[in-house]
Amino acid sequence: MQLESRNKGTIRVPNEKIQSSSSTPPPQPEFNCNHYYLQLVKQTPMMVIIFATMALSCLVMYHSSITLPVSGGYNNHSANSLSRILKGATMDNNTVIITSLNDAWAEPESMFDLLLESFQIGNQTKRFLKHLVVVTVDQKAHARCLRLHPHCYNLNTDGMDFSEEAGFMTADYLKIVWRKIDFLGKVLDLGYSFVFTDADIMWFRDPFSQFDKDADFQTSCDFFNGNPSDLRNQPNTGFSYVKSNEKTIQLYKFWYKSRMTYPDLHDQDVFNKIKFDPFVQNIGLGIRFLDTAYFGGFCHPSQDLNKACTMHANCCVGLENKVHDLGVMLNDWRKYMKSFVNETRGEYKGSWTVPQLCRDSFRRPRAPKKKVGQGIKS
């Protein structure tokens, strides 16, 4: 906000006549620090000291009045912080990788550690870590992120505590997933494209080579029918590549607004509804569904480890179940990568040995308690 004088009259100065075109008294001038100083310095040195104090107050008031417009409840500090983090993490094409965490998923030897390890041991995926932005929804998760990773953004959750595991379809779960959709819309609005990846998705290869360069919105699937353009595919928006443009910005606004139309559904099920909506059709959004041969999960695993880019612990509930099976999955990958070292890749006949505890976890959502580290390291 710029400060400008609205004083249209003539300031009275001793021994000078007021120039006025009418008999109407001139409006009273606004307070002006510099004018007041001229009057004071003609008096005593003590007044100079008083002026210095007042001048400092004027300077502070001026700077405190400068604000930037921010929408959607994001204050200036958080908006500036987000822009700085995105700029520091972006690739050359203004694309970042984003994941989200709460304290339960950020605990040692839990989901965050597994995700970071997958980047480390994947086939040329370590380089993507410098482009990964970790969005945390509580202070404990944020503190641990800062100890492990350079790009951490703490998302304001208006005093709500999301540190505990949010059970599937609980009130906290729905608040978190819809806060995520709102946040991702802000990222697009800032001009950044993104790959969003749930923290329970392991990265094994560069996914960008498998993306359709002409699509606006691309998402993985729980079940893929073989046609990437068919809206009847069953999407899983936990892994998505979204380009920043007017079409995707409008999509995310409509998606977030649609939570009111479908109050009992989570974000993914709502997307499954609105993908057929005339609004989405009319904005000309190019949607593609990713082949599970490259972007698989426990619902529909990728059968060929020579193709797998990511694997998702979907069709699974319960943090302990997910952590156990993802640890097993990383061990499967290590065995596969070891075949390169031993030059036995062509002879390697191994495949994923998961799901294990995740199998039928919707009927048995909690795995037995285990010792720290079990199922994570070989």
Model confidence over 260-312: pLDDT tens digits?
999 889 899 999 999 999 999 999 999 999 999 999 999 999 989 999 999 99
Averaging pLDDT over each range in 36-40, 318-322, 341-345, which range is the top one?
Answer: 318-322
Q: 26 vs 270, which has greater pLDDT?
A: 270
- Is this structure's pTM higher than 0.85? no
Mean pLDDT of the chain: 80
pLDDT at 10 over 50: no
Task: Report whether pLDDT(45) > 90.
Answer: no
Segment 342-350 shows an average pLDDT of 67
Q: How many CB atoms lie within 10 A of CB 38?
A: 11
Contact 236, 312 (CB under 8 A): yes
> What digits encode the pLDDT tens for the residues 187-199?
999 999 999 999 9
* Choice among 5-19, 25-39, 311-325 with the minimum mean pLDDT: 5-19
Instruction: Please give the average per-residue pLDDT across 148-157, as a whole number.
Output: 90
Where exactly are the structural domains of the chain?
A: 77-313
Helix (H) or strand (E) holding 179, with range, is helix 171-189
Percent of the chain clearing pLDDT 90 (strictly above)? 63
In the prediction, which pLDDT does 46 show?
52
Q: How high is the pLDDT of residue 13?
A: 37
Q: What does DSSP assign to residue 88?
A: H
Q: Give dist(CA 198, CA 193) in Å, integer.
A: 16
Q: What is the CATH number of domain 77-313?
A: 3.90.550.10
Which residues, listed in sequence order, are joined to residue 239 by a DSSP beta bridge?
Answer: 197
Helix (H) or strand (E) holding 322: helix 319-341
